[in-house]
Structure 1
Amino acid sequence: MARVSQEHLDARRRQILDGAALCFARNGFHATSMQDVLKEVGLSAGAVYRYFRGKEELIGAIVGEVLERIQGTFEAAVDETPPPPPDVLIGRALTQVLSSRTDEGDGEVPYFPRLMLQVWAETMRNDELATVMRDGYTRVRAAWVKIVEGYQAAGMMRADIPADHVARAMIGAAQGFAAQLALFDEVPVEALQDGLRGLMSMGKPQ
């Protein structure tokens, strides 16, 4: 029997995760069955269950991957002296996670914001997923804290404000923007970046 290469296994896993993410974003976690996922990816049940035992494992793997990509973006910025400003960093992270798109009738739209809302709702009842989210958030926040400390060390930001507080605010800005995309209308990431630049430019009244 021919041995299956690791490259083939990785590509198959990627195919399953991408198809499942589309299904969850389109119809919601509970309205999506494993049969829906099988149909989306065009694979047999045996092929899919070789990698994932069910929907819970699929959603956990999807969330874990996204959080790792975001964490990697911010951790790489820590090594820059000084770190790029918040508008640049958040733009990088959002552009990366919004790069996956799906056709929804009147044009292609990013599916990640919809998936994000589904995941948030699911964490209210799924303890394992809540743990994945909590651990990922903690790592992302820790990376942001280091970035803020870099701003403060370079004299780019007030040093009397706790770095953790700034980190939470920046994460909230990115999460809030993604929620707007999911609930209202699609706007470019540049809109958030412009908004952040406007806030960053504020000074005392003349």
Structure 2
Amino acid sequence: MNVHSHLLPAMPPHLIVAPTEPTLSERHIRILDAAEHVFARAGFHTATMQDVAAEAGMSPGNLYRYFNSKDAIIAGMAERDRSTIAADFAALCPSRGPLLDQLEELGRKHLVHQPREKAVIALQIWAEAARNEDMARMCAGIEETLIGGLVAALSEAKRTGELPADLDEQSFLLAISMMADGFFCRRAIESSFDADVGADVLFRSMRALAHAMPLPATQMQSMETQS
């Protein structure tokens, strides 16, 4: 099942971005991992390239060979996440079981099994995107990859009869994306937040909504008329 990657906006040309997975070099991976630790601990604006270099165990001069700025590192982090999401959705397949089970597995992978610092960084990125157009475009790229994969998966689940044919996909996607964003915010802000309990609530809600959000009657009538 292909993700709608053609919808993605172009990355700002002045940012030197690491190659996408699985072609990331060991050095790129080390730098991005180090940057995540540093940014989660100190924040984007306080952290310096020297801090990232020290965390990665290399000289600042060597670091600049791979990324020319903190913004470029952030772009590399965002692209790595987008690439991972795209690969995960490409692996969705009816032969692997019910779609909602597969979506829950993916959700737990990205929301629960990742370290809390990923949520902290996501919150910083969202805040920065409110005033930084380059960051906003990177966020849009990740969101469109996610939505593209979900749209393709939902269409297949409706075709096979797992989900209702009259499911309001747009409203359903909006609802679960807002819930997932709220989950990330709670996990980032509250150190005592129980991610497992929160995930149970989130995915029970997802399953209930999938069978409780039909298209408005007028829209269904219009679709039936067109068909």
TM-score by length of structure 1 reads: 0.78
Deviation readout 1:82-134 (Å, 9 max, x if unpaired): 86343541432442465554xxxxxxxx2100000011011122211211211
From 193, 196, 207, give the equivalent of 1:200.
207
Q: Which runs of 5+ in 2 are unaligned?
A: 1-23, 213-227
Post-superposition offset of 1:190: 5.9
Distance in 2 (alpha carbons) for counterparts of 1:173 and 1:32: 30
Deviating 4+ runs (over 6 angstroms) = none
2:49 touches 2:69 (CA, 8 Å); kept in 1?
yes
Post-superposition offset of 1:16: 0.6
Q: Letter of the aligned partner of 2:207 in structure 1?
A: M
Larger RCO (CA within 8 A; separation ≥ 6): 2
Q: Which structure 2 residues correspond to residues 45-124 of structure 1 after superposition, within 5 A?
A: 45-77=60-92, 79-81=93-95, 84-86=98-100, 88-96=102-110, 99-101=113-115, 110-124=116-130
Q: What is the CA RMSD across the aligned residues, in angstroms?
A: 2.6
Distance in 1 (alpha carbons) for counterparts of 2:55 and 2:206: 43
Distance in 1 (alpha carbons) for counterparts of 2:160 and 2:169: 14
1:87 touches 1:196 (CA, 8 Å); kept in 2?
no
Distance in 1 (alpha carbons) for counterparts of 2:129 and 2:208: 37
Q: Letter of the aligned partner of 2:91 in structure 1?
A: A
Aligned residue number for residue 18 of structure 1: 33
1:25 touches 1:114 (CA, 8 Å); kept in 2?
yes
Distance in 2 (alpha carbons) for counterparts of 1:30 and 1:198: 37
Deviation readout 1:158-205 (Å, 9 max, x if unpaired): 22233233223233332221221111233234641354236635889x
Q: Which runs of 5+ in 1 are unaligned?
A: 1-8, 102-109
Post-superposition offset of 1:81: 4.8
Aligned with 1:111: secondary structure?
A: helix
Deviation readout 1:5-62 (Å, 9 max, x if unpaired): xxxx811111111111111111111111112112211210121000000100000110
From 195, 200, 214, give the equivalent of 1:188.
195
Q: Letter of the aligned partner of 1:91 in structure 2?
A: E
Distance in 2 (alpha carbons) for counterparts of 1:162 and 1:34: 46
Aligned residue number for residue 164 of structure 1: 170
TM-score by length of structure 2 reads: 0.72
Aligned with 2:45: secondary structure?
A: coil
Q: Letter of the aligned partner of 2:199 in structure 1?
A: L
